Amino acid sequence: MSTSVLEDYWQRYRAASNDPTLPATPYEAEGFGDSPALADQLGHLILSGVKTATCSALWEWQAEQRDPPTVGYRSIVLDGRETPLCIIETTEVSICAFEAVDERFAFEEGEDDRTLASWRRGHWDFFSRTLARIGRQPSPDMPLVCERFRVIHRW
């Protein structure tokens, strides 16, 4: 996706929000998951209101030397073709171990059958793929950045 399309999307959001405190830049724009197909699937769940939570490995944030999101963080959600779908705002952030994620959070992630068992299987597989990029492997005690969010803008 070209930067100008993303900038235009963000600027239209800023104009529609009528919030003078919104920065002109920077903003983050990314798809959820680690493939175009998963970005499409998860993006649809976000737009439909089923997916209102997400998590990432704290180790990845540390490897990239970036701070995890905080409450109020806004980002553009992209589909698998890197087309903007919506803008979300983080409403809650906590750090917890993989093994400490509860049924409520798994349900709010909105994936598969929304059970904790399917969440654990799917996310273990996901982290097995993504953590390999930074030379790590998932573990039951790995710290996760658990976020809840809401859609604040869509076109």
- Stated as kind and residue range, the H or E segment containing 26 is none
Q: Give this prediction's pTM.
A: 0.91
Q: What is the tally of structural domains in the chain?
A: 1
What is the reported pLDDT for 155?
Answer: 74
Find the CATH number of the domain harbouring 71: 3.10.400.10
Domain of residue 146: give its range. Answer: 3-154
- Nearest Cα neighbor of 145 from 74, 55, 64 is 55
Compute the chain's Rg from CA coordinates: 16
Q: How far apart are CA 150 and CA 89, in angstroms?
A: 5
C-alpha 152/C-alpha 87 separation (Å) is 6
The tens digit of pLDDT for each residue in 62-110 reads 999 999 999 999 999 999 999 999 999 999 999 999 999 999 999 999 9
What is the pLDDT, as a whole number, of residue 78? 96
